[in-house]
C-alpha cells in the first residue's frame, strides 16, 4: 500500500502550511525541547526525540511524515467513526497540527459520532490561536483548507470561519489599539470585498445616526 496515494491530500496540506525545516528548532515556549524539524517531526520512528542542531533532508522529512500520519490514521480507525476518505485526511492534517490529545478532548468527536459534520467543521475553525491566545493568520488559512477538504464528500454548507470579527464587533470599545487594528485590516482588504461588506452591513445608513457625529470624529480621526 502506497502511503503517498493514501494520504496525498493530507500531505499536501501539511507541506503547504507547516513548511519544511532542514535544521531542528527549539520550542518557542521552552526555548529547548521539544525540537522540531522536517514537516513538524519531533520524534523519530524509533521513538527517540529530535535533538537540537540535528538536520533532516526533504526525503527523510516526507518519510517521517508518512510514519506519523499512519499512526494518526490507525488511532482514528480505532474510534470507528466511519468517515469518508477526504474527511479522514482533513483530520490527519488537523491532528498533526494540534496533537492527538488535544483532538481527543475536543468536541469534534462528539459531533462526528452524531453525524453533525457542520458542528465538527465549525470546531475545526476555532483552532487558530497560539499558546498566548493570539490569532495566527497562517492557522486561519490552514483551518479553512482543512474544512474545505473535510466537507468535500458531504452535503453541508461551509461554516462561518472563526467568528473573530463578530467577537471583535461585540467587544469594540473604540480603544486606540482597536481603531489601529481596524485601519490596518481595512488597508489589507481588497476594495471590492470592502465595498460588498459595507453594502451588506449598510455602513452609512440611518442605523448609524443614533451615534453623535462627534463620536465618529473621536473614533476615526484620533
State the DSSP code for 80.
T
Which stretch of 133-137, 167-171, 192-196, 214-218 has the lowest confidence by average pLDDT? 214-218
pTM (2 decimals)? 0.70
Tell whether 161 is covered by a domain: no
pLDDT at 42 over 90: yes
User: What value does the mean pLDDT of the chain take?
Assistant: 83
Confidence of residue 216 (pLDDT cuts 50, 70, 90): very low
Assess whether 87 and 192 both reside in one domain.
no
Tell whether 155 is covered by a domain: no
Tell whether 138 is covered by a domain: yes
Indicate the number of domains in the chain.
2
Confidence of residue 194 (pLDDT cuts 50, 70, 90): low
Instruction: Enumerate residues 6+ apart whose C-beta is below 8 A from 37.
Output: 21, 22, 23, 24, 25, 50, 54, 55, 56, 61
| Residue range of the domain that includes 207 | 172-220
Residues 48 and 116: beta-carbon distance below 8 Å:
no
Instruction: Enumerate residues 6+ apart whose C-beta is below 8 A from 109.
Output: 79, 81, 103
Tell whether 205 is covered by a domain: yes
Assess whether 123 and 83 both reside in one domain.
yes
Assess whether 127 and 18 both reside in one domain.
yes
Question: What's the whole-number mean pLDDT along residues 57-64?
Answer: 95
Tell whether 96 is covered by a domain: yes
Assess whether 202 and 124 both reside in one domain.
no
Residues 36 and 21: beta-carbon distance below 8 Å:
yes
Amino acid at each position: 500500500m502506497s502511503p503517498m496515494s493514501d494520504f496525498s491530500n493530507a500531505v499536501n496540506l501539511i507541506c503547504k502550511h507547516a513548511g519544511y525545516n532542514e535544521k531542528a528548532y527549539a520550542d518557542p515556549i521552552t526555548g529547548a525541547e521539544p525540537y522540531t524539524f522536517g514537516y513538524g517531526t519531533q520524534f523519530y520512528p524509533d521513538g527517540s526525540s529530535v535533538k537540537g542542531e540535528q538536520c533532516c533532508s526533504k526525503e527523510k522529512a516526507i518519510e517521517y511524515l508518512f510514519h506519523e500520519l499512519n499512526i494518526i490514521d490507525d488511532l482514528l480507525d480505532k474510534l470507528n467513526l466511519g468517515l469518508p476518505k477526504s474527511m479522514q485526511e482533513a483530520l490527519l492534517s488537523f491532528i498533526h497540527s494540534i496533537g492527538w490529545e488535544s483532538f481527543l478532548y475536543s468536541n469534534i468527536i462528539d459531533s462526528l459520532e452524531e453525524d453533525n459534520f457542520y458542528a465538527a467543521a465549525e470546531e475545526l475553525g476555532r483552532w487558530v490561536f497560539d499558546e498566548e491566545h493570539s490569532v495566527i493568520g497562517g492557522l486561519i488559512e490552514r483551518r479553512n483548507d482543512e474544512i474545505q477538504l473535510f466537507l468535500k464528500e458531504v452535503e453541508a454548507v461551509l461554516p462561518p470561519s472563526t467568528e473573530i470579527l463578530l467577537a471583535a464587533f461585540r467587544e469594540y470599545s473604540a480603544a486606540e489599539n482597536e481603531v489601529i487594528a481596524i485601519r490596518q485590516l481595512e488597508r489589507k482588504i481588497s476594495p471590492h470585498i470592502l465595498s460588498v461588506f459595507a453594502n451588506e452591513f449598510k455602513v452609512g445608513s440611518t442605523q448609524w445616526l443614533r451615534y453623535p457625529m462627534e463620536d465618529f470624529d473621536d473614533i476615526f480621526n484620533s
